[in-house]
Chain A
């Protein structure tokens, strides 16, 4: 059973490359196939998540670990893969088949989305740095394509945004590659398990430099300060569903890569301080910039930068408290930000243009307020508990400065989010601008997210247990090494 998990990477990848050909024969098959593949891999992932004793290593082709390719599957990677696929299904680009040329664009979009899903799954499962890098590049390429292809009308702003993103992302990749080269130079291996056994070789200034390079390099996708300037531009130019997917899910995979680098390559306080500092700067600058935004999409893009700063702050707390808090903030943000971008699908644009919309579209504005409250951390919504875990972790380390910044930025966050609510329910005597209602499927998705958040409040103890299990698995590096390096008999 557990070997099937590889299909979640291989199948989307295969179909992604076949799709243009299939599309030439039957447009409808090309439309139907990707969701079927996604559902199939969701089922596989869910079954593995439920049935198997979660942490296990897969040696692809039965090659011995440090030389061969290893997939390491644990609760976090399964959950991430599951989120990648489920969110992809719900945020799947809508087809438009009025014109022949649009069908071709749609087909390209479908293959790129599948490529994105495959590479994201690969990122979640890969057990060595080089494969991570390959999947990361694949993911980047898929993203560039998706951003520039995203909707049917040609849009110069989108191409410009995609090009700037390309430049920043490519520079980041070069840095990451340099970091990987340094790691290889110091240890002679790129397998995480093998690296973990050689941490002594890495605990020197060059090792720290390598970590810094990896942090900044992979940080581009993770919206890490200061390599996140592409965020508002790309998110406001691309379609909002894609932006929601990038901000909500894909950025979290990059975070996961960085966390692996922190745990396996340089688990020392210098690295944690670096992450803490950059996270705090990202949080502060993101929230402040969001406050100045007059544009809804840009505002929530900045807010996403800030929230990822929060994630980095959380993971910089040493020990289990940090991992638990980080995961809590991460998964909460995944849901909330996706919902916000779905709202921005029709409401993106000047905030002042939204005045009075709330009375026309009560469901969407209700979802907005609910999600915003959870983002701010109104108890007892999930956002509060994630913040509670985070602040407790920080207080345990006596990072009082960070606590102060987090709480102050929360006030700023309240101010700008509820400025939007004020515009939505404005009572000024101005004509309400005609804005189309959201597509029913988007409304449904956003409502499902709200339901998920409410259910999460009830299931808080279960979630807490799960977080503890995940963090145990993530921190138990010794068993990780044993699984990957010793138990080769489990190979495919």
Chain B
């Protein structure tokens, strides 16, 4: 029994434990500890080599096996970390389904990450899809509606994957991961597999045009569940896409499948899908008035960066894409935590009914500040490093237009996360929130720990880059050349090293100068927020000086005509089409016609047969 077996067994044990004991607070504390134990066991696995589990069984002459490599290790760490923080954050949540669902998700994800062949990959994929349901149904009625939409999308993706795997089996006669590499297929077969597998997996990743389910499903459930789902759940799609690129259609093959002859390859198509997945959902997020939905829409947009980085498939780009999984998970987790602690204390996440909470919930504010800096990709937080790597790779590959697209996406991110913070924490405190208290310790402590992680991996990205480098060598790429402060460019012709320690030093010396100026300006006087004036008017409780309704009115005036809701329309069209077909099929069974149909079939067959 090796460490991988132990990890899987502990994870399964955690599920059983959560079924029995999650009703009591002590049980939930132990449960949180169990995620930490799993993380410790994970560290016993050497990320640099492949470890094969002794579990496995044979079915219909296929040997199913489980194994772990650097890529699995990297994703497993993020999964366990997210689960640990989500469980801690949810210590006071008494919904049993939450804790069972969390542990079931972790277990199924670990099985997915250790899948050793296509069949076990598919089995684990379906388990991940269905265990996601357990976490999504925890909200009000609206969360049930969102879950039904999710599972319909997820199974549609799953069935595409199923078709791909069946095709691999019938074309190569094997379900092992090396099936395709050992039996090369024709270009059209590669194309079919790419559409089915990458298309199917990208449903989970919520790449365009399969993104409509995600925001509601992830955001409208209970807090800890949102934290976990938002942080890692969708990234299982990315993992599976990497597996596909590694074992089925590599990027070179994708680059040789031309959608428009001599002009536009399948890879270009995917790159544009990724770029649009950055821009469109981000600007949809900008229009959200519910803080949870705003964050969840960002989750879709950030997935585009990861996909973009991976599609570059070079040293820097793929490192950026993978590193962004880690960085984004930490930022999204802390942001969801902050937003749900607002919900916990004020009972709303409607951005038009909040404001000024910084005075009442300073720790949550700090958490959100760290989170939005990271999510927007600004130094000194970790989001900057991964985005820098992706940009760098785009520029050195000469993809200026895609680079521009991703910068537009980042602009949208900055605008909308500012809206998030401004409307909730800044401005005037509302009267009804006068007596709001800071979130309980069980919520603030994990937030603060995450903030530290985000800052440290921002200043010293070498820590997380080591994991990324392991993952890169596991998928057969040249690992990125990293040091504690950042990366060294492999190609010395293009200058462009990054050392975050220097960046942060420069940044903080700037802050230092500002602080000196601020302190030398003389003493400031604290006043009550209503003992003030704005625009020449004195303020009172009824007269809001913070505007949040119709935020960014000017910008919206310009870009509003660009929102076309085409995907929503398309989704509606598909639903209408299916409904129409269903109406037709029902009318087909009109009783009066039945015997006629019976005769028609038989006489047709007889006539055809005799002629």
Q: Do the two chains bind?
A: yes
Q: Flag whether B555 is at the interface (Cβ < 8 A).
A: no
- Is A205 interfacial (CB-CB < 8 Å)? yes
A292 nearest CB neighbor, chain B only: B582
A426-479 CB contacts (< 8 Å) to partner B? 426-428, 460-461, 464
Give, as a whole number of angstroms, the nearest-CB distance from B611 to chain A. 8
Decide: A171 near B151, CB < 8 A? Known: A208-B605, A226-B601, A285-B588. Answer: no
From A229, A373, A376, A426, B144 is in contact (CB under 8 Å) with A426
Residue on A nearest B162 in the bound complex, by CB: A407
Given contacts A208-B605, A227-B594, A395-B166, contact A411 B159 (CB under 8 A): yes
Judged by a CB distance under 8 angstroms, whether A408 is at the interface is yes
The answer for the CA separation of A167 and B163 in the assembled complex, in Å, is 41
The residue of chain B having its C-beta at the shortest distance from the C-beta of A414 within the complex is B155
**With the chains together, A427 CA to B58 CA distance in Å?**
43
Question: Closest chain A residue to B580 by CB distance?
Answer: A288
Within 8 A of B (CB), among A222-268: 226-227, 229, 233
Interface check A488, CB cutoff 8 A: no
- Evaluate contact between B609 and A403: CB separation under 8 angstroms: no
Chain A residue with the shortest CB-CB distance to B594? A229
> B residues within 8 A CB of A171?
595, 598
For the complex, give the distance between the alpha carbons of A408 and B60 in Å: 25
- Contact between A289 and B162 (Cβ–Cβ < 8 Å)? no
Write the B443-454 contact mask toward A (1 if CB under 8 angstroms, else 0): 000000000000
What distance in Å separates the Cβ of B244 from its nearest Cβ neighbour in chain A? Answer: 18
Across the interface, name the chain A residue whose C-beta is closest to B593: A229
What are the residues of chain A within 8 A of B140 when measuring CB–CB?
427
Contact partner of B582 (CB less than 8 A), chosen from A227, A291, A384, A414, is: A291
Q: Does B117 make an interface contact (CB < 8 A)?
A: no
Establish whether residues B606 and A410, one from each chain, have CB atoms under 8 Å apart when the complex forms: no
Given known contacts A213-B602, A427-B144, A284 and B585 CB-to-CB distance under 8 angstroms: yes
Minimum CB distance partner of A394 in chain B: B166
Q: Spot the interface stretch: A32-40, A105-113, A330-338, A415-423.
A: A415-423
- Check B127 for interface membership: any CB of A closer than 8 A: yes
Expressed in whole angstroms, the Cα–Cα distance for A96 and B127 within the complex equals 45
CB distance from A183 to the nearest CB of B (A): 14
Q: Does A392 contact B (CB under 8 A)?
A: yes
Residue of A206, A288, A403 with most partner-chain B CB within 10 A: A288
Report the minimal beta-carbon distance from A288 to chain B, rounded to whole angstroms.
4
Cα–Cα distance between A206 and B610 once the two chains are bound (Å) = 7
Q: Which residues of B contact A292 (CB under 8 A)?
A: 579, 582-583, 585-586
- Report the separation of the CA atoms of residues A270 and B610 in the bound assembly, to the nearest whole angstrom: 13
- The reply on B122 being an interface residue by CB < 8 A is yes
Decide if B595 touches A410 in the complex (CB within 8 Å).
Answer: no
A interface footprint on B374-395 (CB within 8 Å = 1, 0 otherwise): 0000000000000000000000
A221 CA to B31 CA in the complex, in Å? 54
From the candidates B59, B127, B144, B586, name the one contacting A461 in the complex (CB within 8 A).
B59
CA distance A415 to B152 in the complex (A): 6
Q: Among residues 110 to 145 in chain B, which have CB atoms less than 8 Å away from a CB atom of chain A? A: 122-123, 126-127, 130, 137, 140-141, 144-145
Contact B594 A168 (CB under 8 A): yes
- Asked if B60 and A464 make an inter-chain contact with CB atoms under 8 angstroms apart, the answer reads yes
Q: B581 contacts the other chain (Cβ, under 8 Å)? A: yes
Question: In the complex the two chains form, what is the Cα distance from A209 to B609 in whole Å?
Answer: 7
A274 to B166, CA, bound (A): 24
**Contact assessment for B170 and A216 in the assembled complex, using a CB-CB cutoff below 8 Å:** no
> Provided the pairs A168-B594, A209-B610, A395-B170 are in contact, do residues A461 and B58 lie with their beta carbons within 8 angstroms?
yes
Query: Is B155 a contact partner of A289 (Cβ separation < 8 A)?
Result: no
| A410 lies within 8 A of B159 (CB) | yes
Given contacts A227-B594, A291-B582, A292-B583, contact A274 B59 (CB under 8 A): no
Are A168 and B595 in touch, CB under 8 angstroms?
Answer: yes
Whether the Cβ atoms of B595 and A288 lie closer than 8 Å is no
Complex Cα–Cα for A480 and B516 (A): 100
> Is residue B148 within 8 Å, beta carbon to beta carbon, of the partner chain?
yes
Contacts of A460 on B, CB cut-off 8 Å?
Answer: 59
A404 at the A/B interface (Cβ < 8 Å)?
yes
Rounded to whole angstroms, the CA-CA distance of A209 and B581 in the bound complex is 31
- Judge if A175 is at the interface, Cβ distance under 8 Å: yes
Identify the closest chain A residue to B167 (Cβ).
A395
Residues of the B chain whose Cβ atoms lie less than 8 Å from the Cβ of A116: none
Question: In the complex, what distance in Å separates the CA atom of A278 from the CA atom of B144?
Answer: 36
Assembly CA distance A233 to B589 (angstroms): 11
CA distance A359 to B267 in the complex (A): 49
Tell me the smallest distance from the CB of A462 to a CB of chain B, in Å.
12
Given A274-B605, A288-B578: A407 and B163 within 8 A (CB)? yes
> Residues of A contacting B594 with CB < 8 Å?
168, 226-227, 229
Residues of chain A with a CB closer than 8 A to B588's CB: 226, 285
Is B591 interfacial (CB-CB < 8 Å)?
yes
A289 touches B589 (CB 8 A): yes
A255 CB → nearest B CB, Å: 18
Q: Which residue of A lies closest to B605 (CB)?
A: A212
Is B506 in the interface zone, CB < 8 Å from A?
no
Contact indicator A414/B152 (Cβ below 8 Å): yes
Closest to A216 in B: B602
CB-nearest residue of chain A to B133? A418
Q: Which of B155, B163, B170, B585 contacts A376 (CB 8 A)?
A: B155
Question: Chain B residues with Cβ under 8 A from A168's Cβ?
Answer: 594-595, 598
Asked if A88 lies at the interface with its beta carbon under 8 angstroms from chain B, I say: no
A-chain residues with CB within 8 Å of residue B163 when the two chains form the complex? 391, 403-404, 407
Q: Is the CB of A373 within 8 A of B159?
A: no
Q: State whether A392 touches B169 (Cβ < 8 A).
A: yes
Q: Which residues of B contact A426 (CB under 8 A)?
A: 141, 144
Given contacts A171-B595, A425-B137, whether A391 and B166 have CB atoms under 8 Å apart is yes
Residues of chain A lying within 8 A (CB to CB) of residue B59: 385, 460-461, 464
Q: Does A134 contact B (CB under 8 A)?
A: no
CA distance A96 to B597 in the complex (A): 41
Please name all residues of chain A whose beta carbon is closer than 8 Å to the beta carbon of B609 when the two chains form the complex: 205-206, 208-209, 212, 270
Residues of A whose CB lies within 8 Å of any CB of B are 164, 167-168, 171-172, 175, 205-206, 208-209, 212-213, 216, 226-227, 229, 233, 270, 274, 278, 284-285, 288-289, 291-292, 373, 376, 378-380, 384-385, 388-389, 391-392, 395-396, 403-404, 407-408, 410-412, 414-415, 418-419, 422, 425-428, 460-461, 464
Listed from nearest, the 6 A-B pairs whose CB atoms lie closest are A395-B170, A407-B159, A205-B609, A212-B605, A379-B123, A288-B582
9 example contacts (A-B, Cβ-Cβ < 8 A) are as follows: A285-B589, A291-B582, A379-B126, A380-B123, A391-B162, A407-B162, A407-B163, A414-B151, A422-B144
| Additional A-B contacts beyond A168-B595, A213-B606 (11; CB < 8 A) | A209-B602, A226-B598, A288-B582, A292-B585, A292-B586, A379-B126, A395-B169, A407-B162, A411-B155, A414-B151, A419-B148
B contact set with A: CB distance below 8 Å: 58-60, 122-123, 126-127, 130, 137, 140-141, 144-145, 147-148, 151-152, 155-156, 159-160, 162-163, 166-167, 169-170, 578-579, 581-586, 588-591, 594-595, 597-598, 601-602, 605-606, 609-610
